[in-house]
Amino acid sequence: MMSEGWIDVQIRTAVDAAELLGLLADPVIQGGWEEQGVVHLYWPKPQWSMEAHGRLSRTLQRLDPGASPERDIRVEELPDQDWNRQWAQSVRPIRIGRRIVIRPSWEPVALQAQDIEIVLDPKQAFGTGHHATTRMLLEWLEDLIHGGEFVLDVGAGSGILAMVALRLGAASALGVECDPVAVDCARDYATENGFGDNLVFRCGMLEEVDRQGELRPDLVLANLDRQTLLLLCDELAQYVRHGARLLLSGILLEQEQEILAGFSRVGAMFSQRREQEGWVALELLMEESCEGVSR
């Protein structure tokens, strides 16, 4: 496809690229990635406008009230070849934890005997494993999946967490995601990686997908922002009350105590935590399961 060049919009922020893209919901954005605290989003040059800049500024301030669009958003023009090179560099293969390899289709990797592989050509930045919030949960899955589990992934994004859980030995996974673009991407990735009926993605809110509260997952994953986690407190805690482990991510260090307090009020108690790059992931269990667990 011929192009008139690209606009590389660089946003200095702690906000996850996937979260920013999801809220922008702009189909003309051709990719996004995060590196060293800077999110890069790419618009085709003819589609970039003051209106797009304004929408981005408002969305950034909604996610990060302390952000200043004048200070934190930088716009550069890129010719095609520079965009292609940057995009390819942004999706290099990565190894996470002991066994997990995530790679684009054009970069083969020599695998060790126990490695599991997910092939992901990022269509948009819906959680490719590069961000600490995703990485912590992927590493945790290596320790928690023992085989045969039913995994519920709330806010599934690209589906990377559900796919890795299945590769590690889970029996089935359901991804719930309210962004239809992300759901389409996740279904494509699942097909490209050879998953079948054991992996299902549903578009909608959790309350729509599990109206009667009948699902009985063994493990629930929720890599979401602070506001959404607090809104879903009751719904997520119901699975804990039925015996599931609940893993939360997407939490900044300064938000940790607020999240723990919210979930403890509905009976989901702190068990373990992990921390990377200023982000926290938490494991919550039913109250009775936590007796004797100390912080």
**DSSP per-residue string spanning 14-49:** SS-HHHHHHHH--TT---EEEETTEEEEEEEGGG--
Task: Please write the tens of the pLDDT for every residue from 167-191.
Answer: 999 999 999 998 887 788 899 999 9
pLDDT beyond 60 at 193: yes
Secondary structure E strands in the chain: 6-12, 32-35, 38-44, 73-78, 94-96, 100-103, 116-119, 150-154, 172-177, 199-203, 219-223, 245-252, 268-276, 279-286
pLDDT above 70 coverage of the chain, percent:
88
What domains are defined for the chain?
Answer: 6-90 (3.30.70), 94-290 (3.40.50.150)
The amino acid present at 29, given as its one-letter code, is: I
Residue 198 has pLDDT above 80, yes or no: yes
pLDDT value of residue 293: 46
Q: What are phi and psi of 60, to 5 degrees?
A: -60, -45
CA 221 to chain centre: 10
Q: Helices in 64-179 by DSSP H: which ranges?
A: 69-72, 80-90, 132-144, 160-167
% the chain with pLDDT above 90: 55
| Dihedral over Cα of 184, 185, 191, 195: its sign | negative
Q: Which of 104, 61, 83 is nearest to 9 (CA)?
A: 83
Q: Which single residue is written with the structure tokens 């909608």?
A: 204
For the stretch 113-163, pLDDT in tens is: 999 999 987 655 445 566 788 889 999 999 999 999 999 999 998 899 999
| Terminal C-alpha separation, the chain | 55
Q: Residue 15 has what pLDDT?
A: 81
Q: What was the pLDDT predicted at 139? A: 96
Please report, to the nearest 10 degrees, the dihedral formed by the alpha carbons of residues 44, 47, 48, 49 taken in order.
Answer: 170
**Amino acid identity, position 174:** L
pLDDT, tens digit, for every residue of 226-238?
A: 889 999 999 999 9
pLDDT for residue 123 = 59
Higher local confidence (pLDDT), 2 or 189: 189
- pTM score of the predicted model: 0.75
Ranking 52-66, 89-103, 162-176, 269-283 by mean pLDDT, the lowest is: 89-103
- Is the pLDDT higher at 88 or at 192? 192
Angle subtended at Cα 178 by Cα 237 and Cα 148, rounded to the nearest 5 degrees: 55
pLDDT computed for residue 140 by the predictor: 97
The identity of residue 90, as a single letter, is: S
- For residue 289, the model assigns a pLDDT of 55
Residue-wise pLDDT tens digits, 34-74: 777 888 888 888 889 999 999 999 999 888 888 888 899 99
pLDDT of residue 56: 94
pLDDT given at position 81: 67
Measured CA distances, 198 to 53, 95, 148, 158, 220 (Å): 41, 25, 11, 16, 16
Tell me which of 36 and 219 has the higher pLDDT: 219
